[in-house]
Every structure is written in C-alpha cells, then in structure tokens.
Amino acid sequence: MAESPSSLNRFYVVLGVLAAVAVGALLYLMNRSSTPTVPANVKVEASDTAGFRGYLLGSATAPVEVIEYADYQCPACQSFDVVEFPYVKERLIQTGRVRWVYRDFPLDQPHKWTRLSAHSAACANEQGKYWEQHSSLYEAQPEWSVSNDAGDMFRDFAQTNGMDVAKYDACMSSLRYAGRIQASSDEGLRLGVNSTPSFVIGGRLYTGVQPYDRLRALVDSLAPVKE
C-alpha cells in the first residue's frame, strides 16, 4: 500500500533533521581542540612546591642570583629571551657569575595559551629537556600564540627536542603541574610582580626587558669582577 503524501513529508523532514545533526556533529569534532585546559587559581598543595623553587640554569655557587618572572606568550618576554638572553647565558651564566631562576607568571588575559605553554615546559623538565622546550616555545611564539590548537605545536617541539612523546602526552593530560604554575604566580604577586618580564636581582624588583648591558652592570655592582 502506497505511503500517503503527509507520511512521506514527515519522513523527509526527519531525514533532513538527522542529516543536519550529523553534519553539525562532524563539524564540531573536526574543529574541537584536543588540547587540555590548564586551570587557573587552583588550590596549591604542599607537593606542588616540594623541592622546587624554579627552573635553574648555572652554577649553584654563582655569587649572584637572578629570578625571572615571565609568561611564554608575552611578546616582551619573547624579545628578551631571543635577543638578550643568549648574551646573558654566554657571558654571565656560563662564566659562573650568575645563577638564573625562571619562574612562571602567567597572564591569563589576554594570553590564551600561557598556562598550557608553562605546563608543556614543566613536562619537558621531567625528561631533562626543560631548557630545550623553553627555547622552542619562545622562538616559535609568534606562530603558536595565534594557533587554534597550540598544544599540537608544543607536542611537535617535544618530539623535535628528543622526548618520549608518550610520556609527554601522559604528563600533559594529567595537568599535574597546574598547582606548581599557580604557586609560582602567587609568589610573584607577593613580591610585587604585576607585569612580564620582571626580574628580582639582589632583593630588588626590576620590571620590563632588561638589556644585557644593564644586567651586567647590576651583576658587577653586586659581585665585582676580581682583577
């Protein structure tokens, strides 16, 4: 027995609705980011900071300590790391005059990927590749900062830097360094940090990009070179 026109119309309407839902679901899956979100303002546990005071570079016996508070998505921080920091490493850190300490100070607005990039570096630290990932993040900041899924780029950096990608993925999925990142931010706020980059040198806070010559002069004033 033939279907009535009204039954056929209902059939095609239902079919059209199902097709629209399927297309919408496909588009959602195609555009959805697989990148985890690192939460802000999490409760900091004692285990988040136990035995950790920052990412260190240089001799433990260096006479001067410089603490940098920075944000991987901050353009000024990127400028400092790419332009000035190579001189700092070569002439102050590698010569034993300075012990460098990097602390995360994420500026969540307007930096969408600031905590995820900090977490990527923390996961790299598990595999002894912190400074390699640190450099990759800053060098490629102009590209990943405008990406819809920066996590994929961070993963590529991990692979390029010789990490075990499966371990890196597990670390990123765990979000286990969210508390550490928050603790670093909280400490910076207590010291008066409100912008990046900021530097604590000899107990004093200096804000903004510090050229190598200025940093060297500060180090010289705290620990003059012996003739």
11 burial via Cβ count (<10 Å: 0-12, 13-18, 19+): exposed
For CA atoms 173, 178, 180, 185, the dihedral sign is: positive
Residue pLDDT tens, the chain, 227 long: 455 555 555 645 445 545 444 444 434 333 344 578 999 999 999 999 999 999 999 999 999 999 999 999 999 999 999 999 999 999 999 999 999 999 999 999 999 999 999 999 999 999 999 999 999 999 999 999 999 999 999 999 999 999 999 999 999 999 999 999 999 999 999 999 999 999 999 999 999 999 999 999 999 999 998 76
> Which residue type is seen at 87?
Y
CB atoms near residue 162 (< 10 Å): 11
Give the pTM: 0.84
Q: How far apart are CA 88 and CA 92, in angstroms?
A: 5
